[in-house]
């Protein structure tokens, strides 16, 4: 049986129309398929491969750690230097109140841990999220989703959760003394690359402080240089009570984390002890590659590079000047191209992939195509992508 047959016959499918490329190798910004083609990866494995594919520092860290040990105990019982080194490095880079790190396997698991922490710390039950939100697909994370079509098929979800309009200061009065936590993406990715105003985020921080609700920033996609700052919170001059990271955090391996103060996260360690545990969270391999990737991002100033090359990408995209494109939004190397119709966005994606450029549209805004390339992408690779986009657009407009 061929790999393609096995993929469709035996692998659980997530949609009726997977991209279906058979990848045999990945290097830098490029993916190589079994039929001899190569594709420019402008979504970086949905933000995971921030350094591109196969970065030598990450590969060396993986080799070094694999020769020492793999899994040895559930998270939190043994002192493992790959975990402690990464936690300490994150603590030095984050605001001082976010100096305690709890490692998980993924972003959704980190969201779940943050929700449990908020309930335990505040003694309250209710959560607030926003329209257009995406925080993962486990039951608790799904309850926060700002799209009814993803929630409704799964019946009654954990809650209560109240959804407010994103970037609307007038709605923040709904955050009161019954709310355990407000969960927000400082920039919505699946919501269509929506960038809120500084005043909204600052007003949200103040409202949470006044009401005693914890403020949780979901930086699963925006963290670690994507938006032109190491953490997107730096754009707004506020510090959340809990910060959630994943995707790029593991350098290409599965890793998530939620970060906060000892006072807040410490509530998970007692009454009862082991009230929140994970077997594979903070796996030694993932933490080793995560530290290597984080060091590259900081030492090579890739956050600043994301700003500069993101500006170049937006400039080139504006040259497309097609009537079916209604807006181009960007912050660092997180960019949204909004179309007048969802069908035009879908045809544009298909046309780009056919011409060797991998892109996708967003879950909660099907008229928006999101770009999130490796932070190491070159000007020449951007020029290749824009040429493919021009050809794809000509086909869409025909």
Q: Is 395 helix (H, G, I), strand (E, B) or coil?
A: helix
Q: For residue 162, which of 199, 133, 185 has the smallest C-alpha distance?
A: 133
User: What are 334-375's pLDDT values in tens digits?
Assistant: 999 999 999 999 999 999 999 999 999 888 899 999 999 999
Q: What is the pLDDT of residue 397?
A: 80
Cα atoms in the Cβ-side hemisphere of radius 13 Å centred on 55:
28
> Strands 325-331 and 334-339: what pairing?
antiparallel
Contact 333, 306 (CB under 8 A): yes
Q: In whole angstroms, give the CA distance from residue 250 to residue 273.
A: 27
Q: For residue 183, which of 148, 227, 229, 132 has the smallest C-alpha distance?
A: 132
For tokens 């030095």, the residue is 92
Q: What is the pLDDT of residue 10?
A: 85
Contact 125, 180 (CB under 8 A): yes
Q: In whole angstroms, give the CA distance from residue 157 to residue 290.
A: 33
Q: What is the pLDDT of residue 6?
A: 87
Using the Cα atoms of residue 227, residue 230, residue 236 and residue 241 in order, give the sign of their dihedral: positive
Q: What is the pLDDT of residue 323?
A: 87
Contact 364, 357 (CB under 8 A): no
Q: Which residues contact 164 (CB under 8 A, 6 or more apart)?
A: 128, 129, 130, 131, 171, 172, 174
> Considering all CA atoms of the chain, what is the largest pairwise distance in Å, rounded to the nearest integer?
65
| Burial label, 15 (beta-carbon count in 10 A; 0-12, 13-18, 19+) | exposed
Cα atoms in the Cβ-side hemisphere of radius 13 Å centred on 221:
29
Average pLDDT over residues 141-151: 90
* pLDDT band with cut points at 50, 70 and 90 for residue 123: very high
Q: Which residues contact 269 (CB under 8 A, 6 or more apart)?
A: 275
User: What are 223-243's pLDDT values in tens digits?
Assistant: 999 999 999 999 999 999 999
Q: In whole angstroms, give the CA distance from residue 98 to residue 189.
A: 23
User: What are 283-307's pLDDT values in tens digits?
Assistant: 999 999 999 999 999 999 999 999 9
**Domains of the chain listed by start with CATH number:** 3-55+301-397 (3.90.1150.10), 58-299 (3.40.640.10)
Residue 256: both structure tokens together: 């998530």
Q: What is the pLDDT of residue 299?
A: 98
The whole-model pTM stands at 0.96
CA distances from 156 to 139, 152, 161, 326 (A): 9, 8, 11, 37
Q: Which residues contact 374 (CB under 8 A, 6 or more apart)?
A: 28, 29, 41, 44, 49, 50, 51, 52, 53
Q: What is the pLDDT of residue 382?
A: 98
């Amino acid at each position: 049986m061929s790999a393609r047959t096995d993929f469709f016959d035996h692998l659980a499918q997530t949609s009726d129309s997977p991209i279906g490329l058979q990848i045999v190798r990945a290097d830098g910004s490029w993916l190589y398929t079994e039929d001899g083609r190569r594709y420019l990866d402008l979504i970086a494995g949905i933000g995971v491969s921030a350094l591109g594919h196969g970065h030598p520092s990450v590969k060396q860290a993986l080799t070094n750690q694999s020769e020492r040990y793999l899994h040895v105990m559930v998270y939190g019982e043994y002192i493992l230097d790959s975990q402690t080194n990464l936690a300490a490095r994150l603590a030095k880079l984050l605001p001082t109140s976010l100096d305690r790190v709890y490692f998980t396997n993924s972003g959704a698991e980190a969201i779940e841990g943050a929700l449990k922490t908020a309930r335990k710390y505040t003694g309250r039950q209710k959560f607030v999220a926003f329209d257009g939100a995406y925080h993962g697909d486990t039951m608790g994370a799904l309850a926060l989703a700002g799209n009814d079509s993803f929630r409704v098929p799964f019946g009654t979800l954990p809650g209560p959760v109240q959804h407010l309009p994103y970037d609307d200061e007038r709605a923040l009065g709904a955050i009161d003394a019954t709310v355990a936590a407000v969960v927000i993406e400082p920039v919505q990715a699946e919501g269509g690359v929506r960038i809120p105003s500084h005043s909204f985020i600052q007003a949200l921080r103040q409202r949470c402080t006044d009401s005693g609700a914890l403020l949780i920033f979901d930086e699963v996609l925006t963290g670690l240089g994507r938006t032109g700052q190491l953490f997107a919170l730096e754009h707004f001059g506020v510090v959340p009570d809990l910060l959630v990271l994943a995707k790029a955090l593991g350098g290409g391996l599965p890793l998530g984390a939620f970060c906060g103060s000892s006072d807040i996260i410490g509530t998970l360690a007692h009454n009862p002890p082991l009230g929140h545990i994970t077997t594979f969270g903070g796996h030694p391999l993932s933490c080793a590659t995560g530290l290597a990737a984080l060091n590259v991002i900081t030492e090579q100033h890739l956050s600043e590079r994301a700003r500069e090359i993101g500006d170049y990408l937006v400039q080139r995209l504006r040259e497309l000047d097609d009537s079916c494109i209604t807006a181009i939004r960007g912050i660092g190397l997180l960019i949204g191209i909004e179309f007048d119709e969802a069908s035009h966005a879908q045809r544009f994606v298909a046309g780009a992939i056919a011409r060797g450029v991998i892109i996708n549209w967003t879950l909660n805004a099907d008229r928006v195509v999101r770009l999130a390339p490796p932070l190491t992408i070159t000007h020449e690779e951007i020029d290749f992508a824009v040429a493919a986009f021009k050809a794809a657009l000509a086909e869409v407009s025909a």
